[in-house]
Structure 1
Amino acid sequence: MAATPRSSTSSDSFDSRGISPTDVFDPSAALILVPDTEDATAAAFDFSSDEEDPGQADLQVERVRNSSIPPLSSTSIYLYLLAPFLKLGALLIPSLDIPLRAAAPALLLFAALSVFTRHLWYMLARYVRRTDMEEIVLETFARGRGREGRRMALRHAVRLSVQIMRVSLAALYLRLSVDMLLAYFPNVLAVPSRLVTTIVLVALIAPVYSARTLASKSVVYASWISVGAYAAWFACTIYMYTRHIVEPIAYSSSLGKLWDGTPTFAFTFATSSTVPLYASLKGTTEPMTPKPRRSKSFKLLSLLSVILAVAFTLPLVFFEASAKVPRQELPSAELKATVAVFGSIALLFSVPSILITAPALPLPLPVRRATSLPVSKVLVYLATIGLALLPAHVTRIGSDLVLLLAFLSTYVAPALIHITIHNFRRPLSIVIPPTANTTSRPAEPSASDSRHDELLQRKERTMQRRRLGRRLIWDVAVWVLLVPVGGGGLVWAVQRMLGNW
């Protein structure tokens, strides 16, 4: 693929078109030797580019270490890659009225697309050598000098979209966790039960949200509790369906039209923070290590997380057929309450990790200096609580928008960026200039001068031809992801929300 081409002479330095600017290197060179710097990149985490000064690499490293996702262990990375899959989408699968012959292929399809899109982000991060999605977008649509205005506008747009997505998703999870418990709270108080339940739950997770980064032990433990609660909910659900006693009720009146169908599978395997997590994993590589251990392979961790998620979600699609079998007994109230509590915990304890990774609000400098309190975090938390308490008809529309944003950020954004950066942007590096002058050579070329090494040139061309087929396959796959899956899914979702389909 274009984003991760390799050769015997360079690492991560080839563009799919093999074109390069001639104003940087000697145009008479037949082959340009680019030193292999992948080991240094793995050790020092150098996210530099052709247009940066040497100090930019240190700035990138410092940015990773000071971000909300600092260098983490492989176990923590795996946790944060797996946890988003075992949330609301998975809890809703047993409530979907989809035939098994359609549900199982749809779930496996979106699981495969999740692996594919994560790999796209991974290769884009390596290609442009940036540590987060914001920087990748800037390198794609506003690269170079003299575009400060466009870069600033894009930066604010990306941060705003991520902020809206994080806060809305956290509010939806908080709302649904309250919905699952409302039936077990008395409604005889002067204050509405929803408000009381919401206050109790947000007070429970407030200490976890006070952590600054995902490396905090409280956030890690909360994420493990969320995954463990889903595993317990999954076990109870399996038990009830094997006994044909009840259909687990996770679907809520707070959800909109898009959630009762195949889009739920797309949301189940929606991903976020892929690039920061990859940067965090690379940031743990010890200096002078020639090659990361297999346990530090981001591609392996990503694949294993999806495989485990499929193992914990695929059995749920068989319950549609099981639900048609006559019930053998009625469920006990204790068993129903247990399922509701585990489902609520799975959603509730994922809220802190979602909000912690949200960008800070652009508050004026006097406001930030006036107090030592984290004003931005407090405002984000209050906004989340306020959104979770909105009326049901407003929440239905908001839930559809959340699903739509998750779909676009997971399946459309990486494909669009890949196509733009590899088809409409100038390549970052040089392999073989298309107009290389191989005739004007010195009488006695130096043995160390790679541009006069004909054997090396032939080897390079052979390797490029071998990679041509793979690059074409990847390009076709990305176009399929962008147009039929992304474009078609967007059109269908909009029409469904408008009530036309």
Structure 2
Amino acid sequence: MSRGSRITRQRVREVVRSSIRAITGISRLFLAVTYLREASHSLLSSLPSDIYIANWVFTLILAVIVYAFVIAQSLGSKRVIYSTWISIASYVLWFFCVTYAHANGAPTGHSSWLRMGTLWEGITVIAFTFTSSSTLTLYASLKASAHAANSVSPKTPISRSFKILSIISVALAVCLTIPLLIFAASPNQPLTDTPSYRLRPFILALSGITLLSGIPLVLITTPSLPVPERLRRSTTIPLSKTLIFVIVVILSLVPVDVSRVFSDILIVCALVGTYFLPALVHITTHFFKRPLSIIMPTLPSTPSNPHASNFSSNLPPLPDSSFGPGSSASTPPNSANDPLLQRKEFMLQRKQFGKRIIWDIGVWTLLLPVGGGGFVWAAGRIVGRW
């Protein structure tokens, strides 16, 4: 590869990396804004009617409380761990309270739906429920460790398996989401005389606590702002996190018409980052490029066989341990041309062919009909066509 091609490829990678970083930062920023705004409304609505506090004053009070958790150093900080567990516990309690209230004829609707944007419809809200701002990060991590399964290192325990943990998390998410969809599809008549109606303040309070305690987990992983080194060394206050949190607080105080625009940007970034971009990356990697190597090594020296050179030039280097103990001493320099390795590589690639076909069908369906149709629908909703 020429020097100009390497420079061009490096620049493209920097642009893609910066774009993903910006989309991730914007998504997490507006998610924190939505959490803070809706938590303020929920907690303020749960207060007794004889207590009056201005919405912006109450939001600032909550911001001061949350700031002590936002300035944590990492996800392993006790502040973030405690706030995350508080968010999980309050959500579980909220879920059971909503279930009990709906089963006994009390209304469980919330006025926050009226403050969302034009793109917040039933199907998009369901898709947004299963979004994550770490999808591309997980994809990159799995991509980098794709060859680890062929190494001689001990296997990961089942309790720590990524597939098992993913299945458990998806199953829990579905179990905690399907009943809410049923409740929304069959709303109850407002019966104010039932005892379950008295749970409404508790439901609002638990909803606000869930959102409020989830803000540190969102902001702690937000990409930092480019603060000059001299300013960072002049104080012990985390300037980047503080500035991001100040922006979150200011944006949470904007009028409802502006906040609807923010919520639309949030749902677009979340859906694109979770469904569209990973599908596009998968298609680019596995459809337009040669298949990744499973056992064939990539050597810095140029092999004598030109066809083997074309096959192995796009393959990532593998550690010597992936070929068994003592392979670094026994593998010859031209192992990429070894007929036995090539035959084994071909057989393993054939075993993966069926799985790749299934993945390609699913990903192309997600990319074109779902993603393309979603963009057309979103454009039509924004311009008011439907």
* Interval of TM-score (by shorter of Structure 1 and Structure 2): 0.7 to 0.9
Structure 1: any 5+ residue segments left out of the alignment? 1-20, 22-141, 438-446
Give the corresponding residue for 1:500: 385
Distance 1:308 1:184, change over 3 A: closer
Distance 1:372 1:425, change over 3 A: farther
CA contact (8 A) 1:182 1:194 kept: yes
> Which aligned pairs between 1:349-388 and structure 2 lie closer than 5 A?
349-388=213-252
Give the corresponding residue for 2:254: 390
CA contact (8 A) 2:107 2:188 kept: no
Q: CA RMSD in A?
A: 3.4
Give the corresponding residue for 1:485: 370
TM-score by length of 2: 0.79
CA contact (8 A) 1:230 1:342 kept: yes
Q: Percent identity?
A: 41
CA drift at 1:249: 1.8
Choose the corresponding residue for 1:246, options 93, 107, 115: 107
1:463 aligns to 2:348 (yes or no): yes
1:225 aligns to 2:86 (yes or no): yes
**Counterpart code for 2:23:** S
Give the corresponding residue for 1:339: 203
Q: Which has the higher contact order (CA 8 A, sep 6+)?
A: 1
The Cα offsets for residues 268-288 of structure 1, whole Å up to 9 and x where unpaired, read as 0001224656859x9xx9xx9
**Counterpart code for 2:64:** A
Give the corresponding residue for 2:181: 317
Distance 1:352 1:470, change over 3 A: same
Distance 1:202 1:334, change over 3 A: farther
CA contact (8 A) 1:404 1:490 kept: no
**Counterpart code for 1:466:** K
Give the corresponding residue for 1:183: 45
> Which aligned pairs between 1:421-440 and structure 2 lie closer than 5 A?
421-425=285-289, 429=293, 431=296, 435=307
CA distance in 2, matches of 1:224, 1:476: 39
CA distance in 2, matches of 1:451, 1:245: 70
CA contact (8 A) 2:46 2:202 kept: no
CA drift at 1:152: 3.5
TM-score by length of 1: 0.62
1:306 aligns to 2:170 (yes or no): yes
Give the corresponding residue for 1:35: none
Distance 1:143 1:269, change over 3 A: farther
CA contact (8 A) 1:177 1:348 kept: yes
1:164 aligns to 2:26 (yes or no): yes
The Cα offsets for residues 241-298 of structure 1, whole Å up to 9 and x where unpaired, read as 1111223325343211222321100100001224656859x9xx9xx95111112211
CA contact (8 A) 1:159 1:359 kept: yes
Give the corresponding residue for 1:108: none
Choose the corresponding residue for 1:403, options 245, 250, 267: 267
The Cα offsets for residues 347-380 of structure 1, whole Å up to 9 and x where unpaired, read as 1111011001001101233333433321111100
Distance 1:490 1:468, change over 3 A: same
**Counterpart code for 1:493:** A
The Cα offsets for residues 2-25 of structure 1, whole Å up to 9 and x where unpaired, read as xxxxxxxxxxxxxxxxxxx9xxxx
Choose the corresponding residue for 2:116, options 235, 250, 255: 255
How many residue pairs were aligned? 347
Distance 1:193 1:143, change over 3 A: farther
CA distance in 2, matches of 1:143, 1:219: 44
**Counterpart code for 1:480:** T
1:174 aligns to 2:20 (yes or no): no
CA drift at 1:386: 0.6
CA drift at 1:157: 2.5
CA contact (8 A) 1:244 1:329 kept: no
CA drift at 1:303: 1.6
Choose the corresponding residue for 1:272, options 127, 130, 133: 133
CA contact (8 A) 1:295 1:301 kept: yes
CA distance in 1, matches of 2:197, 2:381: 36
The Cα offsets for residues 1-60 of structure 1, whole Å up to 9 and x where unpaired, read as xxxxxxxxxxxxxxxxxxxx9xxxxxxxxxxxxxxxxxxxxxxxxxxxxxxxxxxxxxxx
Choose the corresponding residue for 1:215, options 76, 89, 111: 76
Give the corresponding residue for 2:277: 413
CA contact (8 A) 1:244 1:322 kept: no
Give the corresponding residue for 2:312: none
Distance 1:186 1:194, change over 3 A: farther
CA contact (8 A) 2:279 2:366 kept: yes
Distance 1:452 1:166, change over 3 A: closer
CA contact (8 A) 1:237 1:248 kept: no
CA drift at 1:422: 2.5
CA drift at 1:397: 1.4
1:475 aligns to 2:367 (yes or no): no
Structure 2: any 5+ residue segments left out of the alignment? 298-304, 310-329
CA distance in 2, matches of 1:247, 1:319: 8
CA distance in 1, matches of 2:103, 2:359: 42
CA drift at 1:458: 4.8
